[in-house]
Structure 1
Amino acid sequence: MSYENYLAGEPVIITAALTGGVQGKEATPHLPETPKEIGKAAAEAEAAGASVVHVHARKDNGERTFATERFQEIDDEIRRQADDVIIQHSTGGTGASDEDRHLPLRTDPAPEMASLDMGPMNRYDHLTSENTRGLVDSLHEEMVERGIKPELEIFNDGHMNETYGLLERRELAEPVYGTLIFGPGTLTPPKPRNFINAIDNLPEGAQFNTLGFGRHQLPFVTMGILFGGHVRVGLEDNIYYERGELATSNAQLVERVARIADELGREVATPSQARDILNL
């Protein structure tokens, strides 16, 4: 993927990250947490232009859970309320056992996609997410067994190296799909030059997705569109629409990036087109 892909007008896949596993309704009352709320948010995001929804699960009290049963409830609601949107489960997180990290892969039917964190990172002042090579390999193995497309989450340059290591250890179905993540802490520093370097370092033939946390969401997804990639927005990554103004929904953030893509000459991919692009 490159500027040439932008010039060719290839469709852009918009992923809506609906909930996340960190902040809750204390941060914004608009964050969907229950299965019904997440199903409604998925339907609204799809109507606004999202072809993929990135899903985390919450307990009734708002705490994060990896339980297969809760993901099943959410998927059932998404399929009931949305049309044809692609479901992508998160397997990432802090404070969970390796076995727990596999649980989101075991719904029936399996999700079409799932995230795969490519290496360790500091999450908060006192917590890390290890993501050992052994865990990465075992998650990838189960994804392959269940026909799930991995979305490789590349949080920094070291994770890019780990991506090449995974390609050496295991066979990945083409195209490789990696999300380039920019923001504070362990994430890639949010500077335009780092974005260009990350694209240049991707494996040959890879498709890329762009994610900017917080105030970096809008500029980085715009760059993603301009450089022929795909984009992710949503309340997991950014709860604000403008400085000091909370976004009212995931759909509001999707609508804006869909409008930007249209103004820049990129068609917004339908779920069917996204399946073709990613070879689902």
Structure 2
Amino acid sequence: MRTPLAKVFITCAVTGNLTSPSQTPHLPITPAQIADSSLAAAEAGASIIHLHVRNPETGAPSMDIALYKEVMDRIREKRPELIINLTTGPGGRFVPSEADPRVAGPGTTLLRPELRVEHIAVLKPDICTLDLNTMNSAGQVVINTPENVRRMAAVINEAGVVPELELFDSGDIALMHDLVKDGTLKGPLLTCFILGVKYGFQPSAETVLYARNLLPDTARFTAIGIGRSAFQAVALSYLMGGHIRVGLEDSIYLDRGVLAPSNASMVEKARRIVEDLGGQIASPTETREMLGLPRLHA
């Protein structure tokens, strides 16, 4: 039986791929805004910064390596001990056309697997996400076939980057175990459960307990709540023996009907929840030790 950890780390997901500037005026868009928001979140208690980038002119999601590099350089200049976690999620979405479902329609983003991790090979962050889900998503389909995941993992492993496995349903955990068996993934595993996507894991204590018990004993996990479940998931994750993630990627609200004014405000609330439950927050250096990462970048 797992109990709450002595110390937990907080990840802040500062901008994401789907949150729109039309939903909140507080979403960071430019590299400077994303970096500044990340640094403020770190001051509030985050040890890990999960990064997407945006086109600075339009606010649309981007995979431009130069934008990623600028954000990383800005963060590392001020706080080199912070742990940087880059997304590899974009490039896996398929939208069938109305006339022929075999033909990709508008909104399709499918890319060759190696292109989805090109920025990882070039920039070598501490961590990057690796999605294991193939699922319906808002009337579209996200596709991460086992072979494509293996191809992405090969690039991640070659770069010396730790993958964080994003798990949207129990079948993703079954795939994870197969990838461990064939040597694609090596432990101890870093994982997260995504709670609240309509056709995936739903947010409840039963869900977190079920998913947690499917993991190897040595695996670390974070239960992530999407939308209204964001802060419920903070408490659930901590009480079940997991870590914490919040940020404007996952939810735009600090409270019912109250827009979060910043990522830092969300980290502050998450920290308060954990501390009110008797927990302690790990520093970036302590988190590096937990995850077996180098203490500092040269």
The interval holding the TM-score normalised by the smaller chain is: over 0.9
1:41-52 counterparts in 2 under 5 A?
41-52=37-48
Structure 1 residues without counterparts, runs of 5 or longer: none
Asked whether 1:256 is paired with 2:233, we answer no
User: Which residue does 2:119 correspond to in 1?
Assistant: 104
Provide the residue aligned with 2:254 in structure 1. Answer: 241
Matched to 1:180, the amino acid is: F
Amino acid at match of 1:85: L
The superposition leaves residues 236-270 of structure 1 with CA deviations (integer Å, 9 ceiling, x where unpaired) of 00000111110000100100111121222221011
- The residue aligned with 2:189 is 176
1:161 is aligned with what amino acid?
Answer: A
Q: Which residue of 2 aligns with 1:63?
A: 60
Q: Does 1:24 align with 2:37?
A: no
Shift of 1:57: 1.2
Pick one of 114, 120, 127 that aligns with 2:128: 114
1:171 positional shift: 4.8
The structural deviation recorded for 1:84 is 2.1
Q: TM-score when scaled to structure 1?
A: 0.93
Q: Which residue matches 1:213?
A: 226
Give the letter for the 1:26 counterpart: S
Cα-to-partner distance string for 1:104-137 (whole Å, 9 max, x where unaligned): 31333x1000000012122221x21101112211
Q: Secondary structure at the match of 1:228?
A: coil
Structure 1: which amino acid aligns with 2:128?
A: A
The alignment partner of 1:180 has SS state of strand
Q: Which has the higher contact order (CA 8 A, sep 6+)?
A: 1
Summarize the Cα distance change of 1:58–1:189 in structure 2 as closer, same or farther, 3 Å threshold: same
Alignment partners' CA distance in 1, 2:232 and 2:208: 11
- Residue 214 of structure 1: how far off its partner (Å): 0.5
One-letter identity of the residue aligned with 1:79: R
Shift of 1:81: 4.0
1:240–1:30 Cα change, 3 Å: same
Q: 1:128-143 residue pairs with structure 2 within 5 A?
A: 128-143=141-156
Partner of 2:75: 78
Compute the displacement of 1:212 (Å).
Answer: 0.6
- d(CA) in 1 for partners of 2:289, 2:184: 20
Runs of 4+ in 1 over 4 A off after TM superposition: none
- Give 1:83 deviation, angstroms: 4.9
Deviations 1:66-114 (A, max 9, x none): 2222211211122234452100000003314024311231333x10000
In the alignment, structure 2 segments of 5+ residues that lack a partner are 94-108, 294-298
The whole-number CA distance in structure 2 between the counterparts of 1:100 and 1:174 is 25
Question: Hey, what's the Cα distance between the residues in 2 that align with 1:24 and 1:223?
Answer: 27
Partner residue, 1:275: 288
Partner SS, residue 122 of structure 2: coil
Q: Shift of residue 139 of structure 1?
A: 1.4
- Displacement of 1:160 in angstroms is 1.1
Q: Higher helix fraction: Structure 1 or Structure 2?
A: 1
1:199 and 2:212 correspond: yes
The alpha carbon displacement at 1:187 in A equals: 2.0
Which amino acid is the alignment partner of residue 54 of structure 2? R
Q: AA paired with 1:248?
A: P
Q: State the AA in 2 paired with 1:118.
A: L
Contact conserved, 2:150 with 2:184, CA < 8 A, in 1? Answer: no
RMSD: 1.5
Larger Rg: 2
For 1:23 and 1:189, how far apart are their aligned partners in 2?
A: 20
The Cα shift of 1:166 comes to: 1.1
- Residue aligned with 1:181, SS: strand
Q: Tell me the TM-score normalised to structure 2 length.
A: 0.88
Any idea what SS the aligned residue of 2:117 has? Answer: helix
